Amino acid sequence: MKVGVLGSGGMGESVIQHLKLCKDVSDIVALDVRAERIRQLKDKYQIKGTTNLRDILSDSAVKLVFVTASNDAHKALTLQALEADKAVMCEKPMANTLADAKAMVDEAERRKVFFQIGFECRYSKLYTKIKEWIDAGLLGQVVNTHCLYITSAREKASWRNKKALGGSMFGEKLSHYVDLPRWWIGSEVKDVFSVSSPNIMTYSEGHDNYHTTYRFKNGAVGHLTFMMGYAATFRGDPLQPNITDLQLGDGHKLRYIVVGTKGAAEADVFYRRIKRWQFGDAPDVMTSDWVENLTWDKKEDHFYYHNTTDQTHDIVKRVLTGQPPKTSARDAYETMRLSFAAEESADTGSIVSLDKMR
């Protein structure tokens, strides 16, 4: 199968690397608005490349495209690809406005074309392990989740600092970390409240910190604390390609606590730990026993928290065999609704009901 990569910066290059390892992919064609970037990737990977989207969309051999351009370009690239009857994988956030995200899902559903969003945490072993425990009944009904995420400042020149290009921090970065509790809890969010202090990263147009609390329809609650800037400066993506030993204790934190009625789990990315507790009943107290303490090798970091490799390979397989997306775009849109609601709450200081986010 021939596959297109629409937007060939950092993420586009990662997808190209994953596709090169995929035996079902015979040809890759990369698109970017920067001709120099295309020349560089053609030389490095011996792939085809173009700066003209039409070259890819009019090529009937291209069955699948990955939309890995900056966020402002997602909607136009996706809609044109769907119109050309290509299966589409689009990176998160789907778009920079909820109305645009809805238009994309509606169009894919109307055309009955494959459309999956890049929530690779759902393929990553750290988080799938917790999902396995939940599905096996080991945690009971999940009632409470907490995510603590602290990272270093991003570069001043990044398009992510501009609202018109990057959208919000919630869409661009934190959508992953509210998508997971939705998946684990299996209920939809009712309302959300976020507060943000004035930025310390003053060159970012959007918020750089949040305390966000959200309630699910089934009574469960989730909380996310995010701060960007105080962890020791790390040039590049602190989560990619793997964690350096320096980051242990330098302020970087990415940790989940997931509490159910029968047990609890904790996932700590930077300390490479997944733990489980089992609750019981003694005459004098409700008991909790620490029953599992798993770790992984540094070489496996990518597969544990950022598994875009298996996500890419799975999408190729699904498109080839006519299967639907692993997670529907409609489901991903629910995560977008929550992300936009959390952002609106941070902007207005009010609790935002998801019913009004359509």
Binding residues for ligand NAD, per CB under 6 A?
6-12, 31-34, 37, 68-71, 73, 91-92, 118, 120, 159, 172
* 117 residue type, one letter: I
Contacts with 320 (C-beta within 8 Å, 6 or more apart), sequence order: 1, 24, 63
Q: Quick check: 174 and 210 in contact, CB under 8 A?
A: yes
Q: Which is nearer to ligand NAD, 67 or 357 (CB)?
A: 67
The H or E element that residue 335 is part of is helix 329-348
Q: What is the CA radius of gyration of the chain?
A: 20
Least Å distance, CB 221 to ligand NAD, is 25
Q: Residue 132: in which H helix or E strand, if any?
A: helix 125-135
CB closer to ligand NAD, 92 vs 313: 92
Distances (CA, A) of 219 to 2, 267, 326: 46, 23, 26
**How far apart are CB 90 and ligand NAD at their closest, in Å?**
8
* 31 contacts 6 by C-beta, under 8 angstroms: yes
Measured from the CB atom, is 20 or 34 closer to ligand NAD?
A: 34
| DSSP-based three-state secondary structure for 129 | helix
Q: Minimum distance between the CB of residue 10 and ligand NAD, rounded to whole angstroms?
A: 4
Residue closer to ligand NAD (CB basis): 75 or 276: 75
Contact between 19 and 334 under an 8 Å Cβ cutoff? The reply is: no
Considering the complex, what minimum distance in angstroms separates the CB of residue 202 from ligand NAD?
Answer: 22
Between 108 and 332, CB nearer to ligand NAD? 332
What is the smallest separation between the CB atom of 177 and ligand NAD, expressed in angstroms?
Answer: 11
Q: Which is nearer to ligand NAD, 145 or 168 (CB)?
A: 168
What is the rounded distance in angstroms from the CA atom of residue 69 to the CA atom of residue 50?
14
From the list 336, 241, 274, the residue with the least C-alpha distance to 128 is 274
Q: How far is the CB of 150 from ligand NAD (least distance, A)?
A: 17
